[in-house]
Amino acid sequence: MITDVFSIRYEDTPIWSAFTERDRRFLVQAAKLVTEQLFPRTYSGDSENADASLKTVNDRVATEIGLLHLGQPWIQLSNQWHKRTIADQLSGFMMDTFQDAFSPDLFMKIRISVVELAFRIREEQVAALKESLPARKADLKARFAKTSGGIATTVAQLNKLEAQTQSLNKMFEEAVIELNERMLRAHFPLSYHRGFIQISNDATVAAIVEKPFWALVSAPLWENVAIDMARAVDLRDNNKRDASLYASKALESTLKIISDKKGWTTGHEVGPVNYVNNLVSKNNGRFIEVWEQESLHKLFSDARSPFGHGPGTAPMPSMTPQQASWAIEVSMSWIKSLINRL
């Protein structure tokens, strides 16, 4: 199984030129965040679940960077060897003393990979719990309906189940907020959202555009929007082509979802322009105004069309990093605006 890890994704993009006291501090904080807040040994009332999750993080990152394991599985105390818990093993790896055998950039990227994957796995687990909540409620009703106490017992158990799910979700959201704040304080140009740590150089844009955008597309309905936008950001960060193409694909998916949700899709649409027209139609109540229609048409024409078609013998189309950032930020802003109108 191939795992997308930060150190491989950004191996050609220098971020750290030196290992500083701020970096050391962050790694201690991140290790505690992963092993004590994301996966504490009281996790879900079963320490084995926490250990299994941390072992998955350990094994997947180790495989991708070409190691058998991260850190030391055994420790010698009083001339005897003792097996370390997976939490201690990962914490030891995260807080290991910087060695000159590694560049500061690679040393930090490998450890950021651990943090990223731990958060991604926990986010997937929390999302699965939320998605399975109706089924788990139905199972509880079936099990307790005929027991002594009947309705009262069932209601109490249902309330407990829902409270536990909400609590886990809140704990994860708070952990994400803390991670992003700690990366900001460490002066890292990074932020976490939807399973990935990505470059975010502009604090103002991050606060006003990126953070609200990722919050809005966290629901399952917008999953494809989030996937394409994450791809756009990765391409931009690594100075690769097609960042604007994937950003516009995310915007097109948003238009399609809204058109479908509102019942405006005719089945004859052949591209994003047709979906824009569905939203501006007077018969559909002018979801967007004519001037907005014109702006969206222009965006797709300039930032999407040149990259969505083969250039033939013409020069290969390209964008500067600044232009790619503009395309991503404008697409994010449009998506935010459109979703907030629903």
The domain spanning residue 273 has which CATH number?
Answer: 1.20.120
Same domain assignment for residues 193 and 227: no
Question: Which tops the pLDDT comparison, 207 or 113?
Answer: 113
Q: Which of 154, 177, 199 is the last residue of a domain?
A: 199
Task: Name the burial class of residue 227, with classes exposed (0-12), middle (13-18) and buried (19+) by CB atoms within 10 angstroms of its CB.
Answer: middle
Q: Is residue 301 over pLDDT 50? A: yes
Mean pLDDT is lowest, of 98-107, 129-138, 301-310, for 301-310
Q: How far apart are CA 1 and CA 54, in angstroms?
A: 17
Residue 33, domain member (yes or no): yes
The answer to whether residue 108 is domain-embedded is yes
pLDDT at 218: 86
Q: Supply the pLDDT for residue 263.
A: 95
Q: Are residue 54 and residue 144 in the same domain, yes or no?
A: yes
Residue with tokens 């910087």: 98
Angle at 47 between CA 43 and CA 50, to 5 degrees: 60
| Domain containing residue 100 | 6-199
Distance CA 137, CA 154 (A): 9
Q: How far apart are the first and last CA of the chain?
A: 39
Nearest in space to 182 (alpha carbons), one of 255, 119, 273, 276: 119
Which run of H or E residues covers position 119?
helix 104-131
Q: Which pLDDT does position 74 carry in this prediction?
A: 76
Q: Is residue 139 part of a domain?
A: yes
Same domain? For 212 and 326 the reply is: yes
Does one domain contain both 20 and 149?
yes
- 95: nearest Cα among 108, 84, 85: 108
- Residue 102, helix vs strand vs coil: coil
Are 130 and 278 part of one and the same domain?
Answer: no
Number of separate domains in the chain: 2
| 1 in any annotated domain | no
* Pair (38, 151) in one structural domain: yes
Distance CA 303, CA 331 (A): 10
- pLDDT for res 187: 92
Whether the predicted pLDDT of 127 surpasses 80: yes
Residues 152 and 57 in one domain: yes
220 & 188 share domain: no
Give dist(CA 164, CA 183) in Å, integer: 29
243: tokens are 């960042």
With a CB cutoff of 8 Å and minimum separation 6, the contacts of 116 are 5, 6, 192, 195, 196, 197
Same domain, 234 and 158: no
- How far is 167 from 309, CA to CA, in rounded Å? 48
Q: Which residue has the higher pLDDT, 211 or 228?
A: 228
**Domain end (from 147, 165, 199):** 199
Decide if 90 is inside a domain.
Answer: yes
pTM of the model: 0.75
**43 and 106 share one domain:** yes
Other beta carbons within 10 angstroms of residue 143's beta carbon come to 12
Q: Which of 199, 218, 248 is the last residue of a domain?
A: 199
Per-residue pLDDT band for 45 (boundaries 50, 70, 90) equals: very low
Bigger pLDDT: 258 or 300? 258
Same domain flag for 185 and 286: no
Work out the pLDDT band at 18, boundaries 50, 70, 90.
very high
The reported pLDDT for the residue numbered 68 is 86
Same domain flag for 194 and 227: no
